[in-house]
Amino acid sequence: MENINWYPGHMKKTRELIKENLKLVDVVIEVIDARIPVSSRNPIIDQLIKDKPRIIVLNKSDLADENVSRQWREYFGSEGFAAISMNCVSGAGAKELFRILEKMSEEKNRGRAVQRPFRLMIAGVPNVGKSSLINRMTGKKSAQTGDRPGVTRGKQWLKLKNNMQLMDTPGILWPKFEDPKAGRNLAFCGSIKDEILDVPTLAMELIEVLSENYPDLLAERYKLEGIADTPLETMENMAVKRGCILPGKRIDYERIGKLTLDEFRSAKIGRITLEKPRDMVGEKDVRP
Ligand SMILES: Nc1nc2c(ncn2[C@@H]2O[C@H](COP(=O)(O)OP(=O)(O)O)[C@@H](O)[C@H]2O)c(=O)[nH]1
Ligand SMILES: [Mg+2]
């Protein structure tokens, strides 16, 4: 996981670097987490990228709710972006990504005697899968994972097929850490280190969200008779079913908490998306 302590100087530098790098590329591939398409976006991404052509990759779509992912692709499409679902671990979606890129590249070079390279950069907040996508696109195992925000090391271009070139280091953007809801969603998805979080409380909050939006999946996974009146009770019922019990028949909140988060993150509870396109309503108004 990329661990960056963002401070105002970093953010300013990142903004400047992204702007510099944008001049060098034809298209930006914005990577977001398909489970949390609102929370996993940089708060000023639209300001940063402005009118540069952009493709939105809903990554980790293997963990997300397919129906909601479709709604998201439609939503982003209606906003004028090409949006595709990807799984950078299996490679699903890579073909479609290349198909779109090749089409854009052809359009750019149409009528040119000398074909110019079509240049791309990948951008996104930490942990969405930027490095995995670079590896996928180049077919190599280990992309350098930049540990500094928005940094490119001397602009190396990775050669792709059909005269396309990829900036070797992704633009690492800061997350929406000022929005508590986004922070919580990023934590659910494992994009904030658990050491700095209260695991049982976070898990209980997740159980509350799942009880509302995916009650059947939750009940099925933990063999619950139903969803209890409070998330705490549901969590306790889950603990009993899973044997997360301490001496004296006390609930082991730490253990059921960790287990719940682990099983959510690995989609063992099911393919779940925490944000729907309707959550975008008002997003534009809160942009700084
Ligand atoms: N399940 C799943 N995991 C992924 C996918 N893409 C990346 N990951 C995992 O997400 C974590 C972060 O990926 P990484 O490429 O380092 O993200 P970066 O911080 O944006 O460069 C790693 O553990 C990856 O294996 C995906 O499509 N599906
Ligand atoms: Mg990385």
Q: Are strands 250-251 and 118-124 parallel, antiparallel or unpaired?
A: unpaired
Query: Do 218 and 104 share a structural domain?
Result: no
Give the Cα separation of 215 and 240 in Å (integer).
Answer: 18
Ligand 2 center to residue 171 CA distance, Å? 9
Q: Are strands 27-33 and 54-59 parallel, antiparallel or unpaired?
A: parallel
Query: Is pLDDT above 70 for 270?
Result: yes
- Which residue, judged by its Cα, is nearest atom 4 of ligand 1? 60
Predicted confidence (pLDDT) per residue in 104-147, tens digit: 999 999 999 888 999 999 999 999 999 999 999 998 765 554 44
Query: Do 162 and 248 share a structural domain?
Result: no
Query: Do 125 and 169 share a structural domain?
Result: yes
Which pLDDT score is estimated for 1?
60
Would you say residue 280 lies in a domain? no
267-279 mean pLDDT? 95
> Which uninterrupted H or E stretch holds 252?
none
Q: Is 60 annotated as a binding residue?
A: yes
Alpha-carbon 163 to chain mean position:
28
Predicted confidence (pLDDT) per residue in 43-85, tens digit: 999 999 998 999 999 999 999 999 999 999 999 999 999 999 9
Ligand 1 center to residue 14 CA distance, Å? 22
Cβ-contact 223, 165 below 8 angstroms = no
- Binned at pLDDT 50, 70 and 90, residue 5 comes out as confident
Would you say residue 284 lies in a domain? no
What is the DSSP-derived secondary structure letter of residue 283? G
Q: Is the CB of 59 under 6 A from ligand 1?
A: yes
Average pLDDT, the chain: 91
- Closest ligand (CA of 87): 1
Query: Do 241 and 204 share a structural domain?
Result: yes
- Closest ligand (CA of 60): 1
Query: Do 210 and 170 share a structural domain?
Result: no
Q: Is 40 annotated as a binding residue?
A: no
- Which residue, judged by its Cα, is nearest atom 24 of ligand 1? 129
- Whole domain around residue 111: which residue ranges? 8-175
State which of 1, 40, 84, 88 you would mutate to test the pocket of ligand 1, scoring each by most atoms of that ligand within 8 A of its C-beta. 88
Domain holding 219: CATH number? 1.10.1580.10
- Of residues 285 and 224, more confidence is placed in 224
Candidate from 74-88, 169-183, 215-229 with smallest mean pLDDT: 169-183
- Binned at pLDDT 50, 70 and 90, residue 204 comes out as very high
Ligand 1 center to residue 88 CA distance, Å? 7
Q: Is the CB of 271 under 6 A from ligand 1?
A: no
**Percentage of residues in the chain having pLDDT higher than 90:** 80
